[in-house]
Structure 1
Amino acid sequence: MVRVFNVLDTLSDHEGRIWSIAWKPGTKILASCSSDKTVRLWAPCDESDKWRCIFCQALAHRASVHSVAWSPCGQLLATSSFDHTVKLWRVHVEVLDSGEHIPEEASMTEVSVLQHDAEAGSLAWSQDGVFLAVACSGGVVQMWKKSNGGDSGLEYESSCKIRSHSQDVKKIIWHPKRNLLVSAGFDGTIKFHMPDGDSWLRYATLRGHQSIVWCVAFDASGDQLVSCGEDRVIKVWHSVSTLSGEGKKGHIEAMPSGHHKLRDAEPVEEEGVPTYVATVTLTGSHARPVYSVSLNRPFLATGCGDNSVMVFRNTPPNELDFSRDLDFTALGREIDAHENDVNSVAWCPVQSDILATAGDDGKIKLWKIIDMM
């Protein structure tokens, strides 16, 4: 396999395992959180591809900080913790006067503390910034809604609790174009939720993993969803409408040759909402559970408990010949990307060949991915 990973920089300022990283929308600013209770902001120093910490929020929480998520506008950063709280921070970034818009320093101001009944884990903003969803222990997703009142206009009030999974929820994300919440859990399922008045309705459940689903991610269009789990399996799901102009239902299964062929399937469907079917199942790529996935079509990145990071390249089916093979090829593997579990991988939103990874070794690595195909 051709080596496609080129390390741009290794960031080692955290003093504990890094649980989560997230790019500020439309920028090269990266947020990270750790078991050391800190939240850090990182940015490139200049055009040399070297990075530095431009702000550290010490003791951001009283316990390990589990997740970070930017609001769609990029002005707010949400952080969740095992201390049963979610905090909202207003982020201000100063840039150099060189005309290059290079971040010089930053600051974070706490604007709100959202109390929870249990440990707060994965969190995600809706595409319009109105809702903030928080995964809590016990299979509960706590939904917060932006209130109309308040002096700052940044107040969020408890909206409802979604009890969808029979066990803990490990990851939540929003559809990038619709008000649809997707959750993945310890029970091995992926569930879709849509608003129904003041509550949320579960309208679809995807089953395909044999154990914990650790992570799910959409592409920018919302047409493609990828999941990974404790079973070391990576699954790619497509919305039915994108697989065929006539809405043909089906999914694509891995064949012994390594190719993928169309097989008939009958997905559960509700009127007016997207339906997803499994199109690709990737097995044998990792030796241990796969903890994180990030999708930036045509590239898919995975981070794993075997310390490795992989990048796959996807070629969609030919629109004129739906029975054509679907190519989904491993582009490259970095076997010892980290010294321990890789917990989070994320593609840069403004430079598609830059991938950030973070893990239990307390390090963040920035990679430049070279496409050899």
Structure 2
Amino acid sequence: MKKQPLIFDAHLDLSMNALEWNRDLRLPIDEIRRSEKGMTDKPDRGRGTVSFGELRKGNIGIVVGTQIARFTKEANKMPGASWNSPEQAWAQTQGQLAWYQAMELDGSITSITNAEELDAHLKNWENDPENTPIGLIRSLEGADSIISFEHLQKAYDDGLRAIGPAHYGPGVYAQGTDATGGIGKKGKELLREMERLNIILDATHLCDDSFWEALDHFNGPVWASHNNCRELVDHNRQFSDEQIKTLIERGAVIGAALDAWMLTEGWVRGTSTPDGENVSLQNVVDHIDHICQLAGNSKHAAIGSDLDGAFGTEQTPKDLNTIADLQKIPLILEERGYSDEDVDNICSHNWIHFLRRAW
């Protein structure tokens, strides 16, 4: 039987799920689902797809785990992650950091902050995956919680290695999904500090104006942890071909996200269903393939599933029950004529090579 390829998932909201959803990710996924039976406070109750056990089952040996806390002056309709002051948002990210540290002490994860740690983890995972903790690189989704650059320095010293300056709506340092406008003076200052610290810029969620201005003012490493293609599903959350080509020129890698509304036109939240819209992992591979066609190779497409980003099986591809089913993606790629090297690139090698270059 052919060995499962290593998968590197570049976007999971693990700490948000642990603290805001109150999920113990060490438990089996069926037990997590049963514990949420009858709960209605979150749209994905009883339908979660992510646990440490399912990551192992899918040979997902390395992930990017977020800290996430928006500051919004008015009520934000997006579930979770919004706070009424930057100080509250900072405190929330520090609680999330404490959870990651607790999971590291528990032996469930191991923190990766440099190339030496990355290579050591990959070697350990290859030789003894059952006894090797899941590798985790920390990213900040939305920079609103960065009160000052002293806070940014502390976050870096604590292991933060990537930042997406905006999330949904207007932000302190940039404008995100469904917003408009550039990064302004504060955004440019943030990018300069990120460049000084060699923190990766995550272009995901930047609105078009902020995207272009950020790339004009940042000379460090850039990736897009979880973003799909506007050419296939027309929405400002997705990247245009021009944006994708620019990212490719910058040496970026773009991770395909698995949220169903990003995979098919006309999805209505709370009404549409994966079966009803016939959304499958084939749609995910369509986005991966589109990036590969624009690049002319397989070196810039990857996976950033976002499978625990406030949705569950009610809003995932119909042929995915848990995150372990990411292993169906390499099979689809092979059916479409992708070589073993291409499949390895997309599943993990592109992210790994990116980090080795960046670090």
Report the TM-score range of the alignment, normalised by the length of the smaller protein.
Answer: 0.3 to 0.5
Which structure would you say has the larger RCO, counting Cα contacts within 8 Å and 6 or more residues apart?
2
The structure in which a higher percent of residues are strand is 1
Q: Which is higher, the Rg of structure 1 or of structure 2?
A: 1
TM-score (norm 1): 0.32
TM-score (norm 2): 0.33
